[in-house]
Structures are given as C-alpha cells and as structure tokens.
C-alpha cells in the first residue's frame, strides 16, 4: 500500500506541476461546480423537449438521486479512509501548485467531482446514445476534464480521481438501467 501511495503522490506532483499561471483561470472555472449550471440547464431543456414533462421530471429525479448517492458515498468513504488532501499534507508543502483559494474538506479519497461527473456522463450517454452518437464522447471528455481539474488545482491525488471516476461509472450504469423503466 505504501508503494501505491508513493506512486500516486509522485504522479500528483508531476501532473500538478505541469500547470502554469496562464491556464489557472481556466482550470478554476472548470473545477467550480457553479460554472456548469448553464450546461445542466441546456441538458434539462433537451430532456424536456425529447421526453415531455412527465418522463423528463422522472429522469431529472433519477439524476438528482444518482448525484445524492454518488456524493453520499464519496463522503462516507472519505470519512472512513481519512486520506488527507494534498493541500493539507505538510510533507508536500512547497512541492506543488495550490491554485484554488481554499482547501475545503480534510479528506480526499475519493473525488466526489469525478464520481458525480462520470455518473452523469454514463447516465446521459445511455439516454442520448441512440439519437446522438457523439454525445457519449463529449460527455466523457467533459467528465475527464472536470476530474483532472481537481489534480490541477491541488486538492486531489490521481488515485482519488480514478477511483471517483470508476465509482461514478458504476453508479451511472446502475441508474442508467432505470431508464428502461422511466423512458
């Protein structure tokens, strides 16, 4: 386990230090959950237009429940594993770029941002893939960019992001199975 944590830390330092001040504003925008509300609004409009009010409301309730499950699971695991965030790890002071203003939350394993974005990408891919063949690609690129932003700003290790992505994919797949019932 120590070797895995060491490699994860080294990969974090490498990836985080690839950043430069010219791109910090972009990555801060990407990592901010509020930045994506316009996209969520557009997706909601598309869902309402495609499925009508009743089915769209059921789909959006499923999305809200899925995000709640994903977030709750991330919080539960963080409290159980108790791996400190890079920005709170004193042995890493001065070795990486902390781009974000504040280091919220004490623990980092696993990334709720990654879990939520990959769950949403998986769920919406199942919803849109038949009629919009490029939608899954775009959704997964978006999820990967959001996930990487957490490493860039200095609040998650790569293993946090990878685990969050895998958990999100599983949760999105499970909730995607509900589409057969809802749609």
Q: What DSSP string describes 30-61?
A: HH-GGGGHHHHHHHHHHHHHHHHHHHHHHHHH
Q: What is the Cα Rg of the chain in Å? A: 17
φ, ψ of residue 156 in degrees (nearest 5): -140, 145
Tell me how far CA of residue 63 lies from CA of 41, 74, 89, 133, in angstroms: 13, 16, 34, 21
Question: Is the pLDDT reported for residue 56 higher than 70?
Answer: yes
At 182, the pLDDT band (50, 70, 90 cuts) reads low
Can you give the residue ranges of every domain in the chain? Answer: 2-182
Question: Is the pLDDT reported for residue 180 higher than 80?
Answer: no
Q: What is the pTM of this model?
A: 0.92
pLDDT, tens digit (0-9, with 9 covering 90-100), for 25-50: 999 999 998 999 999 999 999 999 99
pLDDT, tens digit (0-9, with 9 covering 90-100), for 114-128: 999 999 999 999 988
Tokens of 61: 């309730």
**Per-residue pLDDT at 102:** 82
Neighbouring-strand partners of residue 84: 107
Q: Mean pLDDT in the chain?
A: 93
């Amino acid at each position: 386990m120590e070797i895995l944590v060491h490699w994860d830390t080294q990969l974090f330092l490498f990836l985080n230090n690839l950043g430069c001040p010219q791109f910090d504003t972009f990555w801060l925008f990407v990592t901010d959950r509020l930045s994506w509300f316009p996209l969520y609004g557009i997706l909601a409009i598309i869902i309402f237009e495609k499925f009508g009010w009743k089915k769209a409301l059921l789909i959006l309730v499923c999305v809200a429940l899925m995000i709640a499950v994903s977030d709750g699971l991330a919080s539960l695991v963080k409290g159980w594993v108790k791996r400190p965030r890079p920005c709170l790890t004193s042995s890493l002071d001065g070795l990486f770029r902390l781009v974000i203003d504040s280091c919220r939350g004490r623990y980092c394993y696993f990334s709720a941002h990654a879990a939520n974005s990959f769950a949403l990408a998986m769920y919406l891919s199942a919803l849109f893939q038949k009629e919009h063949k490029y939608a899954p690609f775009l959704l997964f690129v978006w999820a990967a960019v959001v996930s990487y932003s957490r490493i860039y700003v200095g609040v998650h290790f790569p293993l946090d992001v990878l685990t969050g992505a895998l958990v999100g994919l599983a949760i999105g797949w499970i909730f995607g199975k509900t589409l057969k019932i809802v749609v």
